[in-house]
Amino acid sequence: MRGGFRKGTGLNPKILSQQMKQMGISIEEISDVEEVVIKTADAELVFEDAVVTVMDAPGSKMYQITGTPVKRPRTEFELEPEVSISQEDVEIVMEKAGCSGTEAEAALTETKGDLAEAIFRLSE
């Protein structure tokens, strides 16, 4: 069995490289990585010495991170950005839905400023 997997021996890197090229798979390292952060619900894994390799196969990319992570508890949870609602938007919703300014503003806040959705909800 030549060039394949044999008990006690490794796969020839040159043959492996040729086979990957035939399948359209390429591997490259991202050279200027400063930090990689993986966030979970209660912690962050921070890789400051990360080496990141990208395997690009037809239809997908796979990222491999090599390094030593530091686990940090998450104390600050990202808050949704506050929605800015203009008086003009309130007036448009009031006119189209036939409602009060307070109702229009509440609907815009619930829909995160989406005029069409606010009008639809108030028109039901």
- The 10s digit of each residue's pLDDT in 10-32 is 778 888 888 888 999 999 999 99
- Among 71, 68, 59, which Cα is nearest to 25's? 59
**65 lies in some domain:** yes
Domain assignment of residue 48, yes or no = yes
Residue 6 lies in a domain: no
**Same domain (yes/no): 29, 62:** yes
Domain for residue 41, yes or no? Answer: yes
At residue 1, does pLDDT exceed 90? no
- Token output for 99: 């409602």
Average pLDDT of the chain to the nearest whole number: 85
- C-alpha 61/C-alpha 76 separation (Å) is 31
Confidence of residue 4 (pLDDT cuts 50, 70, 90): low
- In percent, the amount of the chain with pLDDT more than 70 equals 86
Q: Which domain holds residue 41?
A: 13-73
Does 82 map to a domain?
A: no
| pTM for the whole structure | 0.48
Number of domains within the chain: 2
- Give the pLDDT band (50/70/90) at residue 116: very high
Long-range contacts: 48-56, Cβ < 8 Å, 24+? 53/27, 53/28, 53/29, 54/27, 54/28, 54/29, 54/30, 55/25, 55/26, 55/27, 56/25, 56/26, 56/27, 56/28
State the CATH number of the domain containing residue 35: 2.20.70.30
- Give per-residue pLDDT as tens, 35-44: 999 998 888 9
Query: Are residue 68 and residue 91 in the same domain, yes or no?
Result: no
If asked whether residues 98 and 59 sit together in one domain, one would say: no
